[in-house]
Structure 1
Amino acid sequence: MTGDWRYRLARNRGTLLAFGIFLAMFTIYVLNHPAGFTANVVQTATNKGVLLAFVAMAQALVVITAGIDLSVGMIFILTNCLASWIVVGTPLQTALGVAGVLAAGLACGALNGAIVIYGRLQPIVATIATGAIYFGIALWLRPYPGGSVNEGLADALTGKLFGIVPASLAVLAGAVLIVWAPFSRSVLGRAAYAAGSAEPAGYMSGIPIRPAKFMAYALGGLLASIGGLFLTFFTYTGEAAFASGNAYTLFSIAAVVLGGVSLYGGTGSGVGAIFGALAFRTIGDLLFVFDLDPLWQPLFQGVVLLVAVSLGAFGLLRVRSRLEWFR
């Protein structure tokens, strides 16, 4: 029992650290917010955080396989623009539009996976190229900001459940239960971790490495598309914003690292990436509460991120072999 407890603690150390950082930052935020700890304050913070959380969870799936997806922000932008066209009309038309947006994200992720795995291109090169393609399509769909969305659905998913719980947080939890949890516990999920920790050994052991990596990229695209949907729900519009797409890509990598997912692959979790994203977003909220000059924001974010990553890396200083990560 003691060994099992220690194993679980070591396995989830990064997630627990990310949760602790987020909890500390959010506590400071609400204690110093003019409105205090209220349902509206929590809802506002959650609605901003879930956008990055979906993109970070998408990035985490790929990083666990020792890859990286530099197109994830552009999938986010593309699906936002697409949603502003097709998530409108009657309930049936809206449902079909939502399904179309999710299918588009899944297809983008699957294309990334196919190029990286079967085309044998480096992930960083392949996803830069596909990201440019996705942004080009987004720009074709929305050369100027515009469009609309089913306001009833948007208000329902960005409001509060029972007047307390942010609906967007419930959807995020649903994504964890429906997408992340089944995948991480499946054969393909375990193979994805194996791909990140020791891919050649996985091949020799008969583990389905290629299908696992392909599924990780595909599900990453799906999760990014959910983020794109929520961006449309929050703004009621679509915009092919290149700077925003790049920012979400970079922030997703930062959130993944902050959430305890190793860039070497093979360790970490999507839940940790979520807490990393929420913690990263809370940094901006702290700047607002303390009325700091926005010019200091990049410096402040960088310092906090560096300290957090350094704390998480202390355990690696004692590692003599990569096999010790999984004991």
Structure 2
Amino acid sequence: MKAGIGESRFWFNEQRGTLLALVIFIAMFTFYVMNHPAGFTANVVQTAANKGVLLALVAMAQTFVVLTAGIDLSVGMVFILCNCLASYVLVGSPLMVAGGVLAVVATGAICGAINAAIVIWGRLQPIVATIASGAVFFGIALWLRPFPGSDPAFSADLADALTGKVFGLVPASLIFLAATVILIWIPFRRSVLGRTVYAIGSSEVAAYMSGMPIKRAKFLAYVLSGVFAAFAGLYLTFFTYSGEASAANGNTYTLYSIAAVVLGGVSLFGGRGSAIGAIFGALAFRAIGDLLFVFEIDPLWQPLFQGIVLVLAVSVGSARLFQVRNRLDLFG
């Protein structure tokens, strides 16, 4: 009996941030649909889901690096680069479009691998390395798309299929997001390299002394970060039917991804949290913005209110730290 209670307590402590983000999201989204002129309809849910999934994918990209006690400030620029590339290559027959999707995802993975190489073998701090690489990625995006636009033969059918509704009810974007969790995040979390990523974030020295594959785990974390940023770039292209080398969008999504990660209970010190928490953090953050829009809050004031809610949420989630005398108590 005591063992069961202890396991439940351990699970609750581990999932505290995720559960808090889920509660905030449910509360905010419920309040949003209650005050939306159209109410709770499939179209309202679809619109909210599409915007939330875009940020959720970027937040998941950020999560992989943050778990290693790093931070990826290039994630928004990889997102923009992949958006610009997708606006060119998603054309032609279904086979050509599939090849274009693979090319975009491969580009994101290459960007992540470059970041990993600089951090692991170049031995630069992640924040410095990713600021520099992000500038390079944005330069390539600007070269690809000096002006917003897309190829005239852009595959609108694929875009409509992945941003529409399945059976007229469920947003396809949410199904895609769930598929990434099931097919990528869960196997990663249960793998040796996934456990090593958590160990690195908790104590890289201890992980090294334990003989864990630190370099391979870090490399995989950065590559997966690039892959998820590429997924987000694809979805931005699906939403807009175009590519745009926008530094403002890149910087905004980078900052919002960090906010979503924190709101989702992922520790910026590494080793704690999950991509699922980051997803709920992103959805909650988007719901806050939608709620402010419904109440017609002046856009100039919206960042202030979003920041206040974020600070309150993070403070509630971190309150227990003031009672902790030993870091191991967090898992007791």
Global fold match (TM > 0.5): yes
| Equivalence for 1:89 | 92
Confirm whether residue 189 of structure 1 aligns to residue 194 of structure 2: yes
Q: Partners of 2:291 and 2:38 in 1: how far apart?
A: 14
User: How far is 1:23 from its partner?
Assistant: 0.5
Confirm whether residue 131 of structure 1 aligns to residue 134 of structure 2: yes
Letter in 2 for 1:200: V
| Equivalence for 1:176 | 181
Please identify runs of 4+ aligned residues in structure 1 that moved more than 3 A: none
| Equivalence for 1:288 | 293
Paired residue total:
327
| Equivalence for 1:6 | 9
Spell out, residue by residue over 1:55-107, the C-alpha distance to the aligned partner (whole angstroms, 9 max, x if none). 00110111011000000000000000000000111101000000000000011
User: How far is 1:325 from its partner?
Assistant: 2.7
Spell out, residue by residue over 1:198-217, the C-alpha distance to the aligned partner (whole angstroms, 9 max, x if none). 11011011111221111111
Confirm whether residue 80 of structure 1 aligns to residue 83 of structure 2: yes
Unaligned 5+ segments in structure 2 are none
| Equivalence for 1:271 | 276
User: How far is 1:326 from its partner?
Assistant: 3.1
Letter in 1 for 2:303: P
Spell out, residue by residue over 1:270-325, the C-alpha distance to the aligned partner (whole angstroms, 9 max, x if none). 00001101111111101111111111111101100000000100121122222223
Spell out, residue by residue over 1:2-23, the C-alpha distance to the aligned partner (whole angstroms, 9 max, x if none). 1111111111111000000000
Written as runs of structure 1 = structure 2, the 5 A alignment for 1:172-251 is 172-251=177-256
TM-score, reference length from structure 2: 0.97
Q: Partners of 2:329 and 2:210 in 1: how far apart?
A: 20
Secondary structure of 2:7's match? helix
Letter in 2 for 1:196: G
Identity %: 69
Q: Partners of 1:141 and 1:127 in 2: how far apart?
A: 21
| Equivalence for 2:43 | 40
Secondary structure of 1:294's match? coil
Change beyond 3 A, Cα 1:234–1:143: same
Q: Partners of 2:78 and 2:327 in 1: how far apart?
A: 33
Unaligned 5+ segments in structure 1 are none
Written as runs of structure 1 = structure 2, the 5 A alignment for 1:42-81 is 42-81=45-84
Q: Partners of 1:51 and 1:23 in 2: how far apart?
A: 18
User: How far is 1:163 from its partner?
Assistant: 0.5
Letter in 1 for 2:65: V
Change beyond 3 A, Cα 1:243–1:309: same
| Equivalence for 1:157 | 162
Q: Partners of 1:185 and 1:319 in 2: how far apart?
A: 28
Spell out, residue by residue over 1:207-255, the C-alpha distance to the aligned partner (whole angstroms, 9 max, x if none). 1122111111110100010000000000000000000000000000000
Q: Partners of 1:307 and 1:76 in 2: how far apart?
A: 29
